[in-house]
Structure 1
Amino acid sequence: MVVQHNMQAMNANRMLNITTGAQSKSTEKLSSGYRINRAADDAAGLTISEKMRKQIRGLDQASTNAQDGVSSVQTAEGALTEVHSMLQRMNELAVQAANGTNSKESDRQAIQDEIDQLTTEIDRVAETTKFNEIYLLKGDSNGGTKNVFMKGHDAGLKGTLTDSAKSATFVMDDLEAGDKVTIAGKEYSIGSTAADAKASYAGAAAGDKVTIDGTEYTVVDAGGTEDAGANKLKVASIDAKVKDGSVVSYKTSKLTVMTDANTDGIDDDDSSVISKNVAETKITAELTAANNIGTVDHAATVAKTAANGKTTYTITKGYATVADTLSFNLHVGADADMTNKITVDIDTMNSANLGIKGLNVTDATGTAATYAVDAISDAIAKVSSQRSALGAVQNRLEHTIDNLDNIVENTTTAESRIRDTDMAEEMVEYSKNNILAQAGQSMLAQANQSTQGVLSLLQ
């Protein structure tokens, strides 16, 4: 028997310390709910878990970002709903003003007053609509500008319009004497000069019929004999019958010789009969008027050329200078990858960009109102396009949010398997260690008592 070294007690104490340490770790895991509370618990698992936590928290914030994006888009789109409503009312008013039964001084002015108020309100909505102090409908806040070219219009004329970015071309058949043409809602006849009328039958053959002012003449060959009583005349003699105001018919041609003592290109007896040059001047003027609605910073111009039986009116478009498009990125991912950004673009939605600034319908004939209908239609289409784009972005963001939330759920599940305590398994471990601790304490007590037998030898 020895008393200096109680090996049984030392062994029992060592094992009790091990059990107590294990019991302490089990207690920590059970109380925290985590299997890994420090790097020493599972170094590799901790690294993987923290990497997953970074992704999870980043994706959670990305989902919030996308939700904020949906809110901002809904704010802009909601404001444009009212802009649409105002434009529809303006269209209603323009159609009303285009009607010929309106009084020039009262009815159209009352209509104009409401149009002015609606235009002002559209500008106010564009200036004040904001989300989190970001103005959504007034364009880029950095001061950049762009020129918005108005859409080309044909002023209701018969022909073919080809529109492009900065210019448009309107092509129509060459006007000839006797043609009918409607300009600004009024029908005109293209009058002819006496020379035009004579030229129409200059190549007539013997026996052909030429009617002048209701009298039919039979063409006699240049070498033939005229019979004035039977109205059989040579071409030169028929020419002598043509005077101002004459109506000359030959085959399918019917020309009215203008009476134009003032040489202004307008028939003195009938203002609806005009010369080709006057008609083309009027066409140019109407194309210019129709294409200048909304061109607040640079006016449109029209140039005429003729070739191969066609007259081409080249429209150099006017424009309004407005703020650049507002563009912002929504970061919808946990990483710095640029593909995690969704760009939202919103054009300036004021009256200048929509092409309705300075809209006026108070002319005497209603023609200006007719052209205004086209301009308002273009504005409605522009707002529709912007609303459609915002709706598409909103739908995309909603899918993005669903995807992000799904990834967060699955990644959290994976991280839980690495980091979280399996409570049932750990309770078994804890119970085992608890029993071992009690047994160790008992054995240590027994080992300490084993040396007491030495005292019996000293008695």
Structure 2
Amino acid sequence: MVTTLWYGVNAMVIFNNMAAMSALNETNRNTSKLGKTIKQATSGMRLNSAGDDASGYSISERMRVKIRALGQCKENSAKGQDLIDTASAAVDQQVNIMKQVKTIALRATDSTYTDADRGNLQKELSQLLDQSEDIANTQFNGISLLNQKMVSETIKWFDADAPYKVNRNNIPVLKQAATGDYNVPQGEYVEITHSSVLYEPGTTPGSQLTVIPAAGNLVYDAGGNVHTVYADSTGHYRFDNDSGALIEVHGVANPPGSTNPSDVGTTTNVYDGILPQIHNPDTTLSVGDFVSDTPYYPGKSYRVEINPFTGKLSYFNTDTFNDYSYITEVDLSDLRSAIANVPEDLDGLGFSFDCGGCDQFVTVMFDASTSASNLYEGESGTPHPLCYVIGVKDVTDVPTLEASLGEAIFNGVNAVTQGAKGNSLPSSTDTSTTLADRHTIKLNYYADTGKLSITKKDSNLALIMKNGLMGEMKEDVGYKPEQNLYLHTDDKSSRNVKVSLPNTTLSMLFPAASSCWDIDPKEVDYPEEWPKGYDTLSDAEKKAKWKEEVWQYPNRKVKLDVDQCVSSRERANDFLADVDQAIKYLLNANTTLGAESSRLDYTQDNIVVMQENTTAAESVQRDADIAKVAMEQAKYNLLQQASQSMLAQANQSPNGVLSLLQ
């Protein structure tokens, strides 16, 4: 219709030949479509570029990536199976060797063989064991298969017998240990408060009382002896306890005026116990003054001083034997000037002290890599020595290093103490936590001053007079007799198959008692329900039988001597049980290898199915329908020829205009 209108309007023009232009455009389009069908026919693909179908091209390319990845995964699985089969074949040979080894051991245990015969048997057996060790060195593509191990656990322990360890660069942790300026006095600091019953030296009993005193009062009897007033279950006041004599005032038993015969008896008149009491010590006493604690030792005086831990006015009573009668300060005041970086420079430093009563020593060591703390116990000595490893990662020198480190020490000990656990610091009151059980050694933290002290019951306490530690923290590494390899059997980065290859060296087939192999069953390894035949056994016997018969790893022995295994009848008899355990281990190991190889059969089958299905889906997106392409090619070939013919005719139409110009 447009062409008709154009022809009617522009039939007599020569500058713009619109008919020819229209024919040319159709020719170009037909040529382009014809070229596309020819390309599809020659390549066999519907999609030859993203321009053919953008979304279909994207889907197809993703599928192609997966197909190619699955092909590599199938190759990985096949190579992995070859690796496992190589290891399994090697273990098969070791099993065959152990069969012959057992045969030789059985011969050697028989009394029909002489020691000379056993010597010859020993030569053969030694060669077999050496060959088994050589087989354990089997490799696949340079990868060792049967002689590897992997770390299973790291066990930290305290070696109390290690040589004395001096702190790094002689950095003093305790001021006392650095200077030797310390002592461990016997007694306790008694704080002077408004309620303290303190008497001035030389005071003598006063006049008789006229009223019955209250429970808890300190009173003199007629002989001048000091007693504490005690209220018994009947409400009567007695001296000191339930069995003490009744208290009289002016010859009348308490309560005054009682007619109860039990109230009348041989009692002692009470004299005035309200002697000059110090009511305001902060203003009436000062350091250097003397006071007397008459309830315990009448007439003995004590010098007033400042408690170095609490900073409060006190006196030190060296005659009081309570649960914590020895005290010393953990003086950290010189530490800040000796280190440059906190907490890094604290790492590995520490101090030790000795009980004195039982020779137990306790070590405190700092660990700057963590804020957690742990308690480790040594095995030598009775009681066992202790080592507190205190995490000081969060220690700072604000407000002071002494206070910050002191709090870390207390909290660390408190978190892992063998005794009662208290609350974390800081607190509003002084707090104690147990350091050791035997002699009730306690660590005390004074929140107001940030100071530490150690108090002890019964006998002396001694700091180690050096800058360093008694004993040493050590590590033992446990190894599993296997290695884990990973076969990538899927196109996802995190999907793989773990293959475990056993260690079949002689050190594992016949493990020494002192070896680092982690092969002993733990509680979780034992079955929840014991097999049939275990019913009549004790728990220990059940575990021993199960370990002997079922547990995958062999029992430990002292040490394998490949040159003496069957040199005597007794040795051969002992070795026979070890061979049975080695065979059990090899069979378990090869069973695992066989299961892993079998698994890879299914893995490869699954990969093939996935690859086929993905290829089929990709074919739908990418492959060309050749019949359809041939039809379209014929169509566009005819259209191209027709459009070319029409273009030729359109080019001739302007010639008619020339007649008008003649």
Q: TM-score when scaled to structure 1?
A: 0.58
Q: 2:45–2:623: 8 Å Cα contact kept in structure 1?
A: yes
* Candidates 35, 50, 61, aligned match of 2:72: 61
Secondary structure, counterpart of 1:100 in structure 2: coil
Are 1:125 and 2:135 matched, yes or no? yes
Are 1:116 and 2:126 matched, yes or no? yes
Residue 498 of structure 2 is matched in structure 1 by 343
Alpha-carbon deviation of 1:454?
Answer: 3.2
Alpha-carbon deviation of 1:323?
Answer: 7.1
1:362 to 1:15, Cα distance in 2 relative to 1, 3 A: closer
Residue 353 of structure 1 is matched in structure 2 by 508
* Candidates 43, 46, 49, aligned match of 2:57: 46
Q: Which amino acid aligns with 1:350?
A: T
Distance 2:128 2:655 in 1: 108
The structure where helix makes up a greater share of residues is 1
Secondary structure, counterpart of 2:492 in structure 1: coil
Matches within 5 A, 1:37-436: 37-104=48-115, 106-127=116-137, 129-140=138-149, 144=151, 324-336=481-493, 338=494, 340-355=495-510, 357-359=560-562, 360-364=564-568, 366-436=569-639
Residue 454 of structure 1 is matched in structure 2 by 657
Q: 1:139–1:348: 8 Å Cα contact kept in structure 2?
A: yes
Q: 1:136–1:346: 8 Å Cα contact kept in structure 2?
A: yes
Q: Which amino acid aligns with 1:52?
A: M
Secondary structure, counterpart of 2:51 in structure 1: helix
Q: 1:327–1:345: 8 Å Cα contact kept in structure 2?
A: yes
Listed one character per residue, the Cα deviations across residues 128-154 of structure 1 (whole Å, up to 9, x for unaligned) are x111110001113x7x4889xxxxxxx
RMSD: 2.2
Q: Could you tell me the percent identity over the aligned residues?
A: 35
Q: 2:46–2:624: 8 Å Cα contact kept in structure 1?
A: yes
Listed one character per residue, the Cα deviations across residues 337-366 of structure 1 (whole Å, up to 9, x for unaligned) are x3x2111111211111011832534454x2
What residue ranges of structure 2 are gaps of 5+ in the alignment?
Answer: 1-11, 155-477, 512-559
Alpha-carbon deviation of 1:324?
Answer: 4.2
Distance 1:134 1:326 in 2: 11
Distance 1:145 1:411 in 2: 41
1:441 to 1:352, Cα distance in 2 relative to 1, 3 A: same
Alpha-carbon deviation of 1:6?
Answer: 2.0
Q: 2:139–2:145: 8 Å Cα contact kept in structure 1?
A: yes
Q: Which amino acid aligns with 1:130?
A: Q
What residue ranges of structure 1 are gaps of 5+ in the alignment?
Answer: 148-320
Q: Which amino acid aligns with 1:109?
A: G
Distance 1:102 1:119 in 2: 21
Secondary structure, counterpart of 2:136 in structure 1: helix
- The structure, 1 or 2, with the larger RCO (C-alpha pairs under 8 Å, 6+ apart) is 1
Alpha-carbon deviation of 1:33?
Answer: 2.2
Alpha-carbon deviation of 1:458?
Answer: 5.0
Residue 647 of structure 2 is matched in structure 1 by 444
Secondary structure, counterpart of 2:487 in structure 1: strand
Secondary structure, counterpart of 2:119 in structure 1: helix
Distance 1:381 1:427 in 2: 70
Listed one character per residue, the Cα deviations across residues 165-199 of structure 1 (whole Å, up to 9, x for unaligned) are xxxxxxxxxxxxxxxxxxxxxxxxxxxxxxxxxxx
Alpha-carbon deviation of 1:452?
Answer: 2.6
Q: Which amino acid aligns with 2:144?
A: Y
Q: 2:119–2:567: 8 Å Cα contact kept in structure 1?
A: no
Q: Which amino acid aligns with 2:142?
A: E
Q: TM-score when scaled to structure 2?
A: 0.41
Distance 2:657 2:584 in 1: 109
Listed one character per residue, the Cα deviations across residues 35-58 of structure 1 (whole Å, up to 9, x for unaligned) are 122222111111111221221111
Distance 2:131 2:566 in 1: 20
Alpha-carbon deviation of 1:367?
Answer: 2.7
Distance 1:72 1:361 in 2: 33
1:120 to 1:363, Cα distance in 2 relative to 1, 3 A: closer
Listed one character per residue, the Cα deviations across residues 44-98 of structure 1 (whole Å, up to 9, x for unaligned) are 1111112212211111111111111101001101111111111111011001111
Distance 1:119 1:67 in 2: 32
Distance 1:385 1:11 in 2: 84
Q: Which amino acid aligns with 1:412?
A: T
Distance 1:3 1:351 in 2: 104
Residue 19 of structure 1 is matched in structure 2 by 30
Distance 1:78 1:417 in 2: 45
Listed one character per residue, the Cα deviations across residues 99-120 of structure 1 (whole Å, up to 9, x for unaligned) are 101112x100000111111111
1:444 to 1:323, Cα distance in 2 relative to 1, 3 A: same
Distance 1:403 1:102 in 2: 58
Distance 1:87 1:136 in 2: 19
Secondary structure, counterpart of 2:110 in structure 1: coil
Q: Which amino acid aligns with 2:143?
A: I
Q: Which amino acid aligns with 1:399?
A: Y
Q: Which amino acid aligns with 2:506?
A: S
Q: Which amino acid aligns with 1:36?
A: L
Residue 179 of structure 1 is matched in structure 2 by none
Secondary structure, counterpart of 1:41 in structure 2: coil
Q: Which amino acid aligns with 1:341?
A: N
1:146 to 1:121, Cα distance in 2 relative to 1, 3 A: farther
Residues 447-456 or 417-426, more deviating: 447-456
Q: Which amino acid aligns with 1:114?
A: E
Are 1:35 and 2:46 matched, yes or no? yes
Q: Which amino acid aligns with 1:136?
A: L
Distance 2:599 2:80 in 1: 11
Distance 1:120 1:94 in 2: 16
Listed one character per residue, the Cα deviations across residues 412-456 of structure 1 (whole Å, up to 9, x for unaligned) are 110111012111111111111111111111111111122233345
Alpha-carbon deviation of 1:29?
Answer: 1.9
Secondary structure, counterpart of 1:39 in structure 2: coil
Residues 396-405 or 421-430, more deviating: 421-430
Secondary structure, counterpart of 2:47 in structure 1: coil
Q: 2:74–2:489: 8 Å Cα contact kept in structure 1?
A: yes
Distance 2:34 2:123 in 1: 87
